[in-house]
């Protein structure tokens, strides 16, 4: 079921619910500048065998409000949007799963809204600034593949639709890493679907321009009590090892699982092991409730 929900003045988000209506809610939070349709349908179905799965489009993606140029916001506002989605659906507590920037947002939820979380899972992300015993977590993108840093300089360049699709596929090729063979056609079809869903093919790079203030809260992660799983993506070219272990060390009680070969993308080859890792974690938590 699809719906549009209001999360802030003049801001509406596209939200989709699928899966088991009587299952515990599970909210998927995607990364920067990425529509909720970037979550593979097969992964959503696998999680939906046990959970009421919710995915949504961030502001300035997909069918949600594209507002940054006239109504700029901070990254931390996107975490508040996730809570607003739960409110709109009448969900008191949910499992949350975040990838990349979504993992940053999950960390903010752990700090500011722990009462709304049944559990947390995050992957392909970095710890909030100030994490670690010495508060010396590496600066953002310190270990990132320099080819990606160069490509990001052209994130918002104007392109026609075909050129934009080709650019995105090339971007995914780098994000995929070398651990799993890259299927360009799989990602081309995904991006065609994302563009059709949004009704536009441009990328305003809004999340890259959003205010980063309020994210230097890594030291606070030591007080987290929500059951948390950090999934290591060993071939992630943005947050390579030991990034996942740094996140887990910063979050009190967090555990680590590895999806072999995974990079900073979700090809079909990682769907089964990724779903299995999430479901083991959420299953343990649900059993306790």
CATH code for the domain in which residue 256 is found: 3.40.50.1820
Res 289: pLDDT: 80
Res 142: pLDDT: 73
Domain that holds residue 246: 2-288
Q: Specify the long-range contacts of residues 2-8, CB closer than 8 Å, at least 24 apart.
A: 3/88, 4/63, 5/84, 5/85, 5/88, 5/89, 6/84, 6/88, 7/80, 7/81, 7/84, 7/85, 7/88, 8/77, 8/80, 8/81, 8/84
Res 143: pLDDT: 83
Res 140: pLDDT: 59
The domain tally of the chain equals 1
Which uninterrupted H or E stretch holds 118? Answer: strand 117-123
Res 256: pLDDT: 98
Catalytic residues: 100, 236, 264
216 by DSSP, 3-state: which? coil
Res 236: pLDDT: 98
Res 131: pLDDT: 82
List of the chain residues with pLDDT < 50: 135
Whole-prediction pTM value? 0.96
Res 75: pLDDT: 97
């Amino acid at each position: 079921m699809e719906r549009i929900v209001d999360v802030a003045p003049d801001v509406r988000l596209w939200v989709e619910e699928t899966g088991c209506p009587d299952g515990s809610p599970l909210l998927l939070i995607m990364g920067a500048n990425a529509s909720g349709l970037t979550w593979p349908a097969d992964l959503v179905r696998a999680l939906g065998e046990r959970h009421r799965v919710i995915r949504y489009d961030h502001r300035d993606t997909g069918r949600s409000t594209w507002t940054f140029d006239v109504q700029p916001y901070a990254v931390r506002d996107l975490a508040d949007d996730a809570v607003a989605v739960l409110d709109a659906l009448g969900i008191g507590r949910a499992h949350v799963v975040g990838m990349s920037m979504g993992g940053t947002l999950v960390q903010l939820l752990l700090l500011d809204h722990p009462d709304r979380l049944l559990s947390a899972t995050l992957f392909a992300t970095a710890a909030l600034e100030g994490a670690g015993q010495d508060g010396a977590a590496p600066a953002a993108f310190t270990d990132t593949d320099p080819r990606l840093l160069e490509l990001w300089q052209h994130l918002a360049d104007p392109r026609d639709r075909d050129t934009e699709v080709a650019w995105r596929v090339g971007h995914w090729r780098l994000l995929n890493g070398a651990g799993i063979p890259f299927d360009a056609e799989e990602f081309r079809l995904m991006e065609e679907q994302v563009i059709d869903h949004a009704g536009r093919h441009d990328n305003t790079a809004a999340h890259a321009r959003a205010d980063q203030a309020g994210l230097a809260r890594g030291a606070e992660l030591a007080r987290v009590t929500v059951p948390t799983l950090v999934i290591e993506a060993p071939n992630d070219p943005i947050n390579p090892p030991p990034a996942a272990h740094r996140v887990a060390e910063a979050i009190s009680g967090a555990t680590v699982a590895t999806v072999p070969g995974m990079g900073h993308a979700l090809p079909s080859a990682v769907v089964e092991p990724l779903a299995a890792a999430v479901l083991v974690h959420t299953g343990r938590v649900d059993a306790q409730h």
